[in-house]
Amino acid sequence: MGGLKIAISTYILLVSACYANGIPRVDPLVDTELGLIRGLTSDDGSYSMFLGIPYATVNVSNPFGPSIPHPSFDNTFDAFDDSAICPQINEFTNEVTGTLDCLHLNVYVPTTASSNNRRPVMVWIYGGGFSIGFAGRYVHGPSYLVRHDVILVTLNYRIGPYGFMCLGTPDVPGNQGLKDQLMALRWVKNNIAAFGGDIDKITIFGESAGSVSVDFHFLYTQENLFNQIILQSGTALSPFAVTEPNREVPLILAQQLGFLTSDLNEALTFLTTIDTDLVIAANNQLQLEHGPCVEEEFENVERFISDHPVNMKLGNGVNIPILIGYVEQELLTLYVNLPPESYASLNIFEESLSPVFNFDIEYFDSMVKNVRQFYIGDEELSEDLKWDLIDFHSDITFNYPTYRAIQKYSSSGISNVYCYLFAYNGDRNFVKRRLNITEGSAAHADEISYLFDVSFFDEVPTPDDQLIIDRMTTLWSNFAKYGNPTPEETSLLPIQWPPVTEESQSFLIINSDLEVQQRPFHDRMAFWDLFYRLNKNQENGYRED
C-alpha cells in the first residue's frame, strides 16, 4: 500500500469520547493490508489491544470444510470485542456455546512498538484436545508477556466436528482447524508489520493440542511464516496427535438429530442446515472425538498433513530455535481424586498402548505385561499405586513423545533446542487451582497461568507466584527476542540454560528455584527408548521407506 503505514505510536484523538476523569480517550488506529483497524488502549496505557479481528470466514455451504480469507474492510474495523468462540462445550460453564463467526484473532502491542522500533511477535495457539478452547482474555490475558516489549497474538480456530471432521473427501478432507491456524499465521505475516511487529522474529507457541499444532506447522508448513517455536506438553508424536478418519461420523450425527440416511452427502447437507448448538450437543452425547488426520490428496485441495508424523524427516538446513518441555506430573488430575474402588476396573496399560501400536493379540498381551511389570511389578491395581500410574500415563502420553521429539530435532542438526520441566506447585497453578487439588506437583496446563493473566484469578499473586510469573515470561520473551532464553545471567535468572547437545540432554527445572539437570526421568525414558526400538515396525502410522 502507498505511504508509510500508521504505526502504533501514532494515535487518532477521538474528541467525542472521554474517560470519566476528563482525560481524552486515545484509540490506536492501524493501516493494514486489509484496511484500517481501530483498537483500544489498556487501562494502564502500556499497550494497545486489537480484539476480534476476523482473519477468515467459514463457508456457510460447507461449514465442515476449509475456511476462506476474510475480505478487506470497506470501513474502519473497530477491534473492540474478543468474545468470539467457536462451537463447543464451554469447559468453564459446561454449556453448548459458540458460532461459526469465530475465526478472529487478537493483537496486543506494547506502546514502544513502531515502524522504527519493530518488536518480536509471539503467536499463541490454545490447547483443549482439539475439542475446546478460545483465544480471549478470559484465560489469555496479555499483560504478563506484553510488558516484556513483545507483541502477542492469540487466535481462534475451529475445533470438534467443525474443525477436525476427517472424511477423506475433497469437500471435507480433514484438518480444517489446522488450516484455520495456517490462515491466521499468513495474516500475521502479511499484516503484523503495520502494528510495529518484526516479520523476521515470529515465534509460534502453544500448549497440549496447541503445542501439537505448533509442531505440525513446523513439520508440514512449506511457507516462511515463523522463525522459532515453543512446544508446551505436546508434539506431533503424542498418541493423541493423529486420529483415524471416520467416514461414518456425519451419518451418526444426522441420525442422532433425527435424519436417517446412508448417503454421506445427504447427511452433510442436512448437518449444514442444523444449528451448531444442536450439532455440538449431539456430538457430545455420542462422545465422538475428532482430531488431526493424515489427508488424502485431491487436485486443487490444500493438503496439510501428508504423511504420519512418525515418518517425517526434517529437511536439510532446517535449524530454527526450539523451546520444548512438559510439567512434572502431566496426568495427575486423572488419578489423584479417583475413588479407591475404581482402580480395580482400570485397563490403563491396555488402553494406552492400543492407540500407539498395532500388535497382534498374543504379542499385545506380552507387551502389556512388560510395561506393567516395569511400572508396578506384580502388584494389583489399587489406590496405593496411583503415583506409579500417573508416571506411566504421563510418560506414554506426553513425556516420552517430548523426549523423542527432542532426540529427533537434535539428531537432525538443530543446534538450539532448549528443554524444560515445569515442577512448580503454587497458588496459581491453572488446573490444580480450578479442581481444588492440593496433592502432588504441577499438572497438565498448570503453567498457563504463569504466562497469561487469567481473569478469574482476581487476587494479587503471592510473592512466590509472582517470581515464577516474572521468570517464565522473561524466559519465554527472551527466547522470542534472541532465540536464547538466557542470553545473560541476571538477578532474576541467575543461570545459563544450555541447549541440548549430542553429549547431554540438559533440562531447566522450573520450580521455586531454577536448576539445570540432565535427562529427567532417565530410567523411564530409557525403558521407552528400548520399547519403541523393539517395536518400531508395529507403531501405528509407521511406513518403511
Residues marked as catalytic: 208
Whole-angstrom Cα distance, residue 536 to residue 545? 13
Whole-angstrom Cα distance, residue 521 to residue 390? 13
| Angle, helices 176-191/209-220, rounded to nearest 10 degrees | 70
Whole-angstrom Cα distance, residue 239 to residue 232? 15
Q: Contact 496/488 with Cβ under 8 angstroms?
A: no
Neighbours of 442 (CB within 10 A): 26
Query: In a 10 Å sphere around its CB, with 0-12 CB exposed, 13-18 middle and 19+ buried, how is residue 43 labelled?
Result: exposed
Give SS3 for 362.
Answer: helix
Whole-angstrom Cα distance, residue 465 to residue 424? 9
Whole-angstrom Cα distance, residue 237 to residue 355? 12
Neighbours of 388 (CB within 10 A): 16
| Angle, helices 361-376/522-534, rounded to nearest 10 degrees | 170
Q: What is the DSSP letter of 446?
A: T
Those residues whose C-beta lies under 8 Å from the C-beta of residue 74, and which sit 6 or more positions away, are 35
Chain centroid offset of residue 492 CA: 27
Where residue 138 falls (left for φ over 0; alpha for ψ -120 to 50; beta otherwise) is alpha
Residue 21 has phi, psi (to 5 degrees) of -85, 5
Neighbours of 526 (CB within 10 A): 12
Give SS3 for 154.
Answer: strand
The CA radius of gyration of the chain, in Å to the nearest whole number, is: 24
Q: What is the DSSP letter of 520?
A: T
Amino acid (1-letter code) at residue 144: Y
CA nearest neighbour of 268 among 416, 137, 167? 167
Q: Contact 476/447 with Cβ under 8 angstroms?
A: no
Taking CB atoms within 8 Å and a gap of at least 24, the contacts of 248-256 are: 249/161, 249/165, 249/167, 249/288, 249/290, 250/64, 250/165, 250/167, 252/286, 252/288, 253/161, 253/279, 253/282, 253/283, 253/286, 253/288, 256/282, 256/285, 256/286
Q: Contact 163/180 with Cβ under 8 angstroms?
A: yes
Q: What is the DSSP letter of 50?
A: E
Chain centroid offset of residue 161 CA: 18
CA nearest neighbour of 400 among 273, 527, 494? 527
